[in-house]
């Protein structure tokens, strides 16, 4: 599937403007000038919603750098990407609560410490997606995946806008992570306000396969950084929807049989 930038997409414009500013700080960009970019890496661009925030304490938009159309495009191999999105959102919202806290260190370096030290995060912050056909009428983009993250209470939402943030349309990122893990692992207990051990394993449940040992996992959209010791845990699998343009089996494309 092609996730190339789409002409006329507001989110693609924000991503490209942030990238251009990162490489050339003096380059002008109308899209970037109207958005306060808080974070950018190889996977996400995060900006602060200042025009129409749902919370006076803080509301940020986490945009996928790739033009991913919806959450239904994601597969089990994208669990590390969703966990990274969640932890990134928590850290940025925490920095808005405590402006002196730095955001320069790698996000992946301390998610366990952050969750362990702040068990209240899931009760203080909301991170999730608005699923079509619903949309935030102040940010009416439905075909480029982005997450909303904000600090409770949502005192600037309003009742009509609140429909998109209600259980009718809202997909909490922790619920999405839990549902994918339930489908691919034997973890049948949902996460709650108190983190469970499986919540500290970003790639738990990320691989799937058949009973005869053939892996059917699609490669992840996550862009890894070898300089930080990250590795691509999920090689393209023959026959998967994201690897049909590649040929030749991968040496890691099978799940080893257990010797009984």
**CATH number, residue 167:** 3.30.428.10
Pairing between strand 125-130 and 170-172? antiparallel
Half-sphere exposure of residue 126: CA atoms within 13 angstroms, side-chain side: 20
* Lowest mean pLDDT, pick from 22-36, 123-137, 197-211: 22-36
Confidence of residue 47 (pLDDT cuts 50, 70, 90): very high
The reported pLDDT for the residue numbered 247 is 39
The reported pLDDT for the residue numbered 113 is 55
* Lowest mean pLDDT, pick from 41-45, 82-86, 126-130, 247-251: 247-251
Report if residue 232 sits inside a domain: no
Report if residue 157 sits inside a domain: yes
Report if residue 235 sits inside a domain: no
Report if residue 2 sits inside a domain: no
- C-beta separation of 208 from 216 below 8 A: yes
Report if residue 52 sits inside a domain: yes
CA distances, 129 to each of 33, 93, 151, 213 (Å): 25, 16, 15, 34
Report helix, strand and coil shares of the chain as percent, to nearest 5: 30, 15, 55
Confidence of residue 204 (pLDDT cuts 50, 70, 90): confident
The reported pLDDT for the residue numbered 112 is 53
The reported pLDDT for the residue numbered 251 is 42
Instruction: Quote the longest CA-to-CA distance of the chain.
Output: 64
Higher pLDDT, 41 or 27: 41
Range of the domain at 59: 10-24+33-98+123-187
Report if residue 168 sits inside a domain: yes
Confidence of residue 252 (pLDDT cuts 50, 70, 90): very low
Higher pLDDT, 33 or 170: 170
Higher pLDDT, 68 or 251: 68
Q: pLDDT at residue 121 above 60?
A: yes
Report if residue 170 sits inside a domain: yes
| 11 Cβ contact list (under 8 Å, min separation 6) | 63, 64, 67, 141, 144, 146
Q: Which two tokens stand for residue 84?
A: 């990274």
Question: Considering the chain, what is the average pLDDT of its residues?
Answer: 79
Separation of alpha carbons 199 and 221, rounded Å? 20
- C-beta separation of 29 from 21 below 8 A: yes
Q: pLDDT at residue 150 above 80?
A: yes
The reported pLDDT for the residue numbered 215 is 82
Report if residue 67 sits inside a domain: yes
Confidence of residue 29 (pLDDT cuts 50, 70, 90): very low
Torsion angle, CA of 159/164/169/175, rounded to 10 degrees? -100
The reported pLDDT for the residue numbered 226 is 58
Q: pLDDT at residue 132 above 70?
A: yes
Confidence of residue 209 (pLDDT cuts 50, 70, 90): confident
Domains: count for the chain: 1
Confidence of residue 248 (pLDDT cuts 50, 70, 90): very low
């Amino acid at each position: 599937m092609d996730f190339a930038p789409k002409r006329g997409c507001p989110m693609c414009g924000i991503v490209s403007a942030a990238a251009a500013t990162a490489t050339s700080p003096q380059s002008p960009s109308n899209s970037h000038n109207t958005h306060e970019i808080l974070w950018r890496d190889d996977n996400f661009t995060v900006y602060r919603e200042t025009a129409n925030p749902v919370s006076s304490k803080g509301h940020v938009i986490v945009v996928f750098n790739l033009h991913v159309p919806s959450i239904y495009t994601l597969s089990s191999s994208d669990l590390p990407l969703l966990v990274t999105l969640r932890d990134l959102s928590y850290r940025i919202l925490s920095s808005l609560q405590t402006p002196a806290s730095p955001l320069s260190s790698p996000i992946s370096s301390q998610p366990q410490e952050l969750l362990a030290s702040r068990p209240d995060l899931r009760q203080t912050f909301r991170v999730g997606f608005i699923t079509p056909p619903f949309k935030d009428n102040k940010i009416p983009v439905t075909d480029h995946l982005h997450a909303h993250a904000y600090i409770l209470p949502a005192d600037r939402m309003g009742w009509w806008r609140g429909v998109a943030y209600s259980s009718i349309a809202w997909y909490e990122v922790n619920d999405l992570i839990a549902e994918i893990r339930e489908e691919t692992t034997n973890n049948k207990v949902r996460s709650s306000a108190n983190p469970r051990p499986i919540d500290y394993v970003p790639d738990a449940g990320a691989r799937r396969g058949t009973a005869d040992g053939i892996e059917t996992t699609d490669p992840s959209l996550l862009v890894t950084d070898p300089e930080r010791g990250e590795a691509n845990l999920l090689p393209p699998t023959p026959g998967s929807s994201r690897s049909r343009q590649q040929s030749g089996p991968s040496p890691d494309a099978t799940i080893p049989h257990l010797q009984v």
